[in-house]
Chain A
């Protein structure tokens, strides 16, 4: 199916984009699920809910209907902090410090597995 439905009369082209988190009646939450014991929670998606309890219930209903997980975390999206994209690039450039990598050291074969 193409969801790229052709432009039809009366269709609105532009939508105003916004970066602030207001607007919706219910805030947005990020959902993390632990797939099974012994491994970390992994981000699985997002949803809207009025409060933490509702967010947890919705997360369970939406993201774990087929045994996807044994534990669920929800975090208000507004409480997730990250680098600005520009700073993130500098961060990636840290890879220049190759002496931090174990594979850049040559160890003679006679020494055996190290």
Chain B
């Protein structure tokens, strides 16, 4: 059996490819790019919610929000580690992100304008992330799939705390409910865009599906998410900002209106409301933390020298 035949057989058998296995260069490159983007998304994704930690309305909500943001840092860590098994360095990936040569999910380029956005993000953004990440637990690359299993467990907390936050607001004063509706209005469409361009236009999908990196297409994941979310909005008594949203008996799915792909591409290309701020903030944190990284490394060298003496 040639290495390539062995690779194909492992993938066909729903077995996992592991770091030291032979793999096609394209497979390696696709994974590095995707896992790095995923890691960057977790790290940049701390900013929109970090923005509200000091303004959380109660100590309880503040503790929840800090725990969630800390989880996202951990998700970034698991994913960078998964990328490193493919022969790249975390520092290398950080640099590409800082230089703007690497992307992260566009959803994090939208601002968090109100407290209820903390609910909408947990419910919709983490909800969309779960839909995608549950699929990725079945990815053919072992380290990526294993990272997803851990992440999905934690994401469940993220989504539930967000939805529960919205239940409280929707059962509160008319002003609180209006604030929740406003959040839904702003986050609904960007959340649907998180699944990426329509299948008719997404270039990598087919190859990724053959390699079993991706198991479900963008449009099918998006539909899954809509079907799951509409009843949840109804329970809250909130209205999804889409006049074309209707249950289609024949398909057994909700039909929904067209997505503004021009907006999507504008944000991907760097012209979203927060693109610049996100990278500037990331860069500042990286530079401000340099002395800690260097001091710890110097301390380790000194200690090793001392114990050798």
A57 to B208, CA, bound (A): 37
Report whether B300 and A5 are in contact in the complex, using a CB–CB cutoff of 8 Å.
no
- Give the interface segment out of B46-54, B124-132, B181-189: B124-132
B89 to chain A, nearest CB (A): 4
Query: B43: CB under 8 A from chain A?
Result: no
List B contacts of A88 (CB < 8 A): 20
Docked complex: B103-126 residues within 8 A CB-CB of A: 103-107, 125
List B contacts of A23 (CB < 8 A): 89, 91-92
Interface string of A1-42 (1 = CB under 8 A from B): 111111111111111111100011110100000000000000
**Size bracket of the A interface:** 35 or more
Report whether B37 and A4 are in contact in the complex, using a CB–CB cutoff of 8 Å.
yes
Query: A62: CB under 8 A from chain B?
Result: yes
Q: Give B86's nearest chain A residue, CB to CB.
A: A17
List B contacts of A19 (CB < 8 A): 87
Q: Give A82's nearest chain B residue, CB to CB.
A: B20
Query: A50: CB under 8 A from chain B?
Result: yes
Contact (A3, B86) CB under 8 Å given A8-B268, A47-B81, A62-B74: no
A7 to B101, CA, bound (A): 10
List A contacts of B133 (CB < 8 A): 1
A27 to chain B, nearest CB (A): 9
A46 to B88, CA, bound (A): 14
Docked complex: B1-47 residues within 8 A CB-CB of A: 20-22, 28-29, 32-38, 41
Query: B84: CB under 8 A from chain A?
Result: yes
Interface string of A57-82 (1 = CB under 8 A from B): 00000100110000000000000001
List B contacts of A51 (CB < 8 A): 296, 299-300, 303-304
Interface string of B274-309 (1 = CB under 8 A from A): 000000000000000000011011011001100000
A62 to chain B, nearest CB (A): 5
Report whether B100 and A24 are in contact in the complex, using a CB–CB cutoff of 8 Å.
no
Report whether A25 and B20 are in contact in the complex, using a CB–CB cutoff of 8 Å.
no
Of the residues B71, B84, B202, contact of A6 by C-beta under 8 Å: B202
Query: B230: CB under 8 A from chain A?
Result: no
Q: Give B91's nearest chain A residue, CB to CB.
A: A24
Report whether B269 and A8 are in contact in the complex, using a CB–CB cutoff of 8 Å.
yes
Q: List 19 A-B contacts (CB under 8 A).
A: A1-B105, A1-B125, A1-B131, A2-B132, A3-B37, A3-B105, A4-B34, A5-B268, A8-B103, A8-B268, A16-B92, A17-B32, A25-B294, A25-B297, A47-B81, A50-B297, A51-B300, A82-B20, A85-B22
> Which residues on B are within 8 Å of A, measured CB to CB?
20-22, 28-29, 32-38, 41, 70-71, 74, 77-78, 81, 84, 86-93, 96, 99-107, 125, 128-129, 131-133, 147, 150, 153-154, 194-197, 202-204, 208, 214, 218, 221, 268-270, 293-294, 296-297, 299-300, 303-304
> Which residues on A are within 8 Å of B, measured CB to CB?
1-19, 23-26, 28, 45-48, 50-51, 54, 62, 65-66, 82, 84-85, 88
